[in-house]
Homo-oligomer: A and B are copies of this chain.
Amino acid sequence: MLTYSFEEKGKESLYEFLYKKIREDILSFRLSPDEKLPSKRALAKNLSVSTITVENAYSQLMAEGYIYSVPKSGFYVSHITSKAGARRSDAVPAEQPQTNDTAELFADFTGNSVPAGSFPFVTWTKLMRETMSDSPEKLMANSPSQGIYELRSAIADYLFQFRGMDVSPEQIIIGAGTEYLYGLIIQLLGRSKAYAVEEPGYQKISKIYRSNDVECVHIPLDGNGIDISALDSSPADVVHISPSHHFPTGIVTPISRRYELLSWASKSVGRYIIEDDYDSEFRLLGKPVPSLQSIDVLEKVIYINTFSKSLTSTIRISYMVLPKSLIKLYKNKLSFYSCTVPNFEQYTLAKFIERGFFEKHINRMRNYYRSRRDCVMKCIAAQPDFSKVKITEENSGLHFLLTINTSLSDEELTEKAREKGVKISCLSEYCYDRKNAQPHTLIINYSGLPTEKTERAIGLLFSCF
């Protein structure tokens, strides 16, 4: 039986170390061609590691051609003078199956992710099972380019009931993530247009525009959202904004500014507004502000939302609502594209929304986030240095800003926190031009931070300044 000492392992992961050891033995012919390797289970037991570790090592060896598998028999050493042994792909830097980048972190305030346990797993899998028992013919029929009608209809109903939006399923386009939909919008509106994004803002959006080679201008914000006069004097034809809850500042654009935006759009035929409503469901206090889409009578607003934020980022379902005039354009120009979301997911999500589970989930999450926020706030207020900080926009969404009275630079702050095991991000990181950023301002994402870690995490954070 193969036996290796893990003492010399160093910083490598167990699987990586094991993979290298076996590879060494194959290359040095200590293991002969066609020699049978121990079963995963037996080797795991012998080395006192988990079967997964052995499985990962064997997978890597197999992917690189050092070993091969014979169904119902096991794993064997390849003839390494043959093609398999000299696989070109060896030269590719190996990638670890699981990255452990954040393993040594105590707390991560940058993760805007949905907490793993919050996904309504039981309900979802129940509905998935139900979907699976639907007729295979229905499940196996091609989805229309815009997505399965049932799902679009469920979304239209949801938007009507909970967002006061009056849209028909015919206006909705389902896609595998908002990033994919941005790409479609560029193809729809045209690459000759200039697209304006918010500064500061979610940098991925401008990355996508630049990656698609369209002109992208960065427009500053004032207290009410994107600065209209700056927008007016820019070459922008299309403005991409998140008026319900700007990331990362948390600004909610008031109704007066919304009308100014619609008025800006009305001044030229080719102007459009992309309303990115990514987390409007999670507004914690007060009535939600009506969406721009719902007060747009000139067909200027493309509304985008996603279930990646509200359900889980591992389900890639987003949608956009096009104004009528653009649906015709979409049908002419882009309906040759296949829908990018599998039918299984589309039917399951349709059921999930129709039967009220989505609403229940949102309510539950809103309560959860509210209690998370209250807990974070309480911990901050209890800090001796509480007077040194200022909190902005804590009533909506899953994050707020914390401005610190300190002489440390943003880089020094981030580095100091990192040393203490706390990952933070500063407002400056969300600026295309860092000179524009208000300094010493942290973005505190509390959605992923477990309750039991909060007190210590906040304490560690405050110990940095």
Contact = CB atoms under 8 A, between A and B. Distances in A.
Given A87-B168, A89-B170, A342 B314 contact: yes
A94 B152 CA distance: 13
A415 B93 CA distance: 57
Interface in A197-230: 204, 207-208, 211-213
Given A59-B153, A92-B170, 16 more contacts: A62-B157, A88-B324, A92-B171, A92-B324, A114-B140, A116-B141, A140-B312, A140-B314, A176-B176, A176-B340, A179-B337, A179-B340, A183-B183, A207-B336, A211-B334, A344-B344
A80 to B, nearest CB: 13
A324 B96 CA distance: 17
Contacts of A129: 129
A356 B341 CA distance: 25
Contacts of A171: 89, 92
A45 B62 CA distance: 60
Nearest to A308: B338
Interface in A75-131: 83-84, 87-99, 113-114, 116-117, 119, 121, 125, 128-129
A151 B241 CA distance: 36
Nearest to A321: B89
Interface string A180-202: 10010001000100000000000
Interface in A330-374: 333-334, 336-345, 356
A167 interface: yes
A341 B176 contact: yes
The interface centre, meaning the residue of A94, A204, A308, A341 with most chain B CB atoms within 10 A of its CB, is A341
Interface stretch (A25-33, A142-150, A243-251): A142-150
Nearest to A340: B176
A309 B60 CA distance: 28
A338 B356 contact: no
Given A314-B343, A333-B211, A340-B340, A125 B117 contact: no
A12 interface: no
A103 to B, nearest CB: 13
A132 B126 CA distance: 10
12 contacts: A63-B153, A89-B168, A92-B171, A94-B170, A95-B170, A97-B150, A98-B149, A114-B140, A119-B140, A141-B314, A316-B342, A345-B345
Contacts of A314: 139-143, 342-344
A137 interface: yes
A451 B356 CA distance: 44
A71 interface: yes
Interface residues of A, number: 89
A89 B165 CA distance: 10
Interface of A: 59-60, 62-65, 69, 71, 83-84, 87-99, 113-114, 116-117, 119, 121, 125, 128-129, 132, 136-137, 139-144, 149-150, 153, 156-157, 160, 166-171, 176-177, 179-180, 183, 187, 191, 204, 207-208, 211-213, 297, 308, 312-317, 324, 327, 333-334, 336-345, 356
A147 to B, nearest CB: 11
Task: Please state the number of chain copies in the assembly.
Answer: 2
A99 B143 CA distance: 11
Given A177-B338, A207-B336, A136 B153 contact: no
Contacts of A121: 136
A416 B88 CA distance: 55
Nearest to A111: B142
B87 A116 contact: no
B166 A187 contact: no
Nearest to A346: B314
A38 B306 CA distance: 34
A324 B91 contact: yes
A316 B187 contact: no
A312 B92 CA distance: 32
A446 to B, nearest CB: 18
Nearest to A348: B344
Contact of A160 (B65, B113, B125, B337): B65
A97 to B, nearest CB: 4
